Structure 1
Amino acid sequence: MNSEQLNQQYGIGQQVVFSEGKGGLPVIQVNNEQAKALISVYGGQVLAFQPAHAQQQLLFVSQQAYYQPGKAIKGGVPICWPWFGPDLEGKGRPAHGFMRNRMWEVISTALTPEGAVQIVLGATDTAETRAIWSRAFALQLEITIADTLNLELTTRNTGTQPCTITQAFHPYFQVGDIRQTSVTGLENTRYIDKVSDNMEREQLGAVTIDAEVDRIYQAVGSSDLVIHDQAWQRRIRITSKGNRTAVVWNPWAKRSAAMSDLGDEDYLRFICVETTNAATDRAHIPPNSEVKLTANYKIEQE
């Protein structure tokens, strides 16, 4: 469908508007009393979210991001599925799976009684996906735009054999200055340090960033993770369900400069705190069954 057809079928006044975004990719603009948001149908990716009470955007998107088929958009909240990280089977398949660089289908749009906007995107297996990953599936992403941003990803196994996935919401949270940013809620949690040959370590105190960081935190509890953004005098509260791991990532200067879709100084402006099923935290799905991964993001001004 083109933007005009999408608006006719799924548009809701000025609150939900479909248009052509960068690179000609379809986007959904949400504007209600509670928040503004921008969602790319390509990748099923929230690119912007700003509650009415917030002074700054929640999410970072690189000025050098690619907006073209086959490329992932650097920023927002990419969906990593049906695997997280590199292709462990060594088949040359893309890192973080294939759904972050594929077009999704618009399933529905609605206003809730509380005034939130709810958008449902979906995808099912095709001959093309089965050539990459042989499983039959139905994937659904429910995005709720209110004074918080809520994401719920449902994976249904529509095949006759069990399947196993790893997955993630990979948000790039915008911060005023990474050097004045910390993350709490992971104290005393063991993690795999991917920068140091996958050594296992224990987190002592809050997470701070002063070099490249790529960590898979294991057996995370049910408590919220909180990003403390001192430069912008705010907190970002992350509440999640369906995961037992969390990832903290920042490429720092050298890796940031080496990425063609990231500016040399961009590492100072974001932190990724990801809701994941990663490493040994895998989701096993019997036939005709489903699993859900949920994350809620809330900005709290100090």
Structure 2
Amino acid sequence: MATTYQEQFSVDGIQFTTREAVELIEIDNQFAKATITTMGGSVLSFIPKGQKDLLWVSDSAIYDGSKPIRGGVPICWPWFGGAKQPGLPAHGFVRSMVWTVEKAAHLDTGETRVLLACESNEKTLEQWPHVFKLKLCVEVGASLTLTLISANLSDESVDITEALHTYFSVANPIGMQIKGLEQSTHLDKLVDNAPAEIQTDVVVLNPPKDSVYLNQTGTVSIVDADNERQIVIHKRNSQSSVVWNPGPEIVKGFADIDDQAWLDFACVESGNVLEDFITLPAKAEHMLSVQYLVKPL
């Protein structure tokens, strides 16, 4: 059944709409179009003018607010991967929270900036007993820049892991090259107790793949050959990258990903995970930032 969108209001040319139970922020400026949702503070679409969408969202994604939207750029925080305590959600809880829009405006440069935030409440404190505020600054221009600011409001230091779990739309992930991960420490998460090894060569994606690359701070680029483009990821304060694609068998375990959809995306995530955790002192802030841009091959 087709989903209808209902316009609610606009601010300075930025459209606020709803899709089922989810609020969307639609941006259209001289550089690009983009869609952000307050559900999880996630960017769902970024289309530079004259180009294809940089991001992928599942055709089976759920918009009723019951779970995170599958695709775009989910935020994994304050932990990445499985929780240490049973019964808690994988990849933390902020991707299931409804964030607030603190600011949305067009800049003098022609770019658009949206600032979203979420903070601790009674429910989060049951899952993770620390007071926090988390902000996401989204800047839409010729490139897409995401800046995640973690504020520890408690009186003691806390350890966090975090990732921007970006689903990139690609023409064909099989055999796709991912450059810039060389000399990092590779952990194959599909193999139980796999030993850490130094990544010596350019990564070639042959799904299924679930790999963590530690001690990796430099620029990463995805060679999306069939789309005749290179997706470049510049990052700040990120010590880790993750590459994930479920492949034809693992994908069957995801109700919100069609069985053939693994051929349409590749996740290349930036963050600080596993041993690359961040210790955040009391009353301190930490910033993680990425910039995504497209270059022709």
In 2, the alpha carbon distance for the partners of 1:154 and 1:100 equals 15
TM-superposed CA distance for 1:91, in Å, is: 2.9
TM-superposed CA distance for 1:92, in Å, is: 1.2
Q: What CA RMSD, in Å, does the superposition of the two structures yield over aligned residues? A: 1.4
In 1, the alpha carbon distance for the partners of 2:63 and 2:22 equals 7
Q: Which residue of 1 aligns with 2:233?
A: 238
TM-superposed CA distance for 1:203, in Å, is: 2.1
Report the AA paired with residue 17 of structure 2.
S
TM-superposed CA distance for 1:137, in Å, is: 0.5
- Residue identity over aligned pairs, in percent, reads 33
Q: Which residue of 1 aligns with 2:21?
A: 24
> Is the partner of 1:195 in helix, strand or coil?
coil
Q: 1:127-166, aligned counterparts within 5 Å?
A: 127-166=122-161
In 2, the alpha carbon distance for the partners of 1:198 and 1:294 equals 31
In 2, the alpha carbon distance for the partners of 1:201 and 1:194 equals 12
Residues 2-37 of structure 1 show CA distances to partners (whole Å, capped at 9, x for unaligned) of 974xx36xx112xx110112x221100000010000
More divergent stretch after superposition (151-160 vs 202-211): 202-211
Q: 1:173-252, aligned counterparts within 5 Å?
A: 173-199=168-194, 200-221=196-217, 223-252=218-247
CA contact (8 A) 1:141 1:151 kept: yes
TM-score by length of 2: 0.94
Report the AA paired with residue 25 of structure 1.
V
In 1, the alpha carbon distance for the partners of 2:155 and 2:176 equals 47
TM-superposed CA distance for 1:69, in Å, is: 2.5
Residues 161-180 of structure 1 show CA distances to partners (whole Å, capped at 9, x for unaligned) of 11111011000000001125
TM-superposed CA distance for 1:258, in Å, is: 2.2
TM-superposed CA distance for 1:192, in Å, is: 0.9
Counterparts in 2 of 1:267 and 1:57: CA distance versus 1, 3 Å: same
TM-superposed CA distance for 1:53, in Å, is: 3.7
Report the AA paired with residue 45 of structure 1.
S
> Is the partner of 2:249 in helix, strand or coil?
helix
Report the AA paired with residue 31 of structure 1.
D
More divergent stretch after superposition (200-209 vs 99-108): 200-209
Q: Which residue of 1 aligns with 2:287?
A: 292
The answer on 1:50 being equivalent to 2:47 is yes
Residues 71-91 of structure 1 show CA distances to partners (whole Å, capped at 9, x for unaligned) of 11110000111110000x223
In 1, the alpha carbon distance for the partners of 2:175 and 2:109 equals 36
The answer on 1:267 being equivalent to 2:262 is yes
Residues 213-252 of structure 1 show CA distances to partners (whole Å, capped at 9, x for unaligned) of 111101113x310000111100000010111111111111
Q: Which residue of 1 aligns with 2:72?
A: 76
From 38, 54, 57, give the equivalent of 1:61: 57
In 2, the alpha carbon distance for the partners of 1:39 and 1:26 equals 9
In 2, the alpha carbon distance for the partners of 1:203 and 1:28 equals 39
CA contact (8 A) 2:144 2:293 kept: yes
CA contact (8 A) 2:215 2:239 kept: yes
Report the AA paired with residue 33 of structure 2.
K
In 2, the alpha carbon distance for the partners of 1:187 and 1:280 equals 18
Report the AA paired with residue 202 of structure 1.
I
In 2, the alpha carbon distance for the partners of 1:34 and 1:180 equals 31
In 1, the alpha carbon distance for the partners of 2:211 and 2:175 equals 19
Where structure 1 has 5 or more consecutive residues not aligned to the other structure, the ranges are none
More divergent stretch after superposition (135-144 vs 194-203): 194-203
Report the AA paired with residue 68 of structure 2.
A
> Is the partner of 2:45 in helix, strand or coil?
strand
Where structure 2 has 5 or more consecutive residues not aligned to the other structure, the ranges are 1-5
The answer on 1:38 being equivalent to 2:29 is no
Residues 132-158 of structure 1 show CA distances to partners (whole Å, capped at 9, x for unaligned) of 111000111000000100000001011
> Is the partner of 2:190 in helix, strand or coil?
helix
Residues 16-69 of structure 1 show CA distances to partners (whole Å, capped at 9, x for unaligned) of 110112x22110000001000011111101000001142x11001110112222
Number of matched pairs: 291
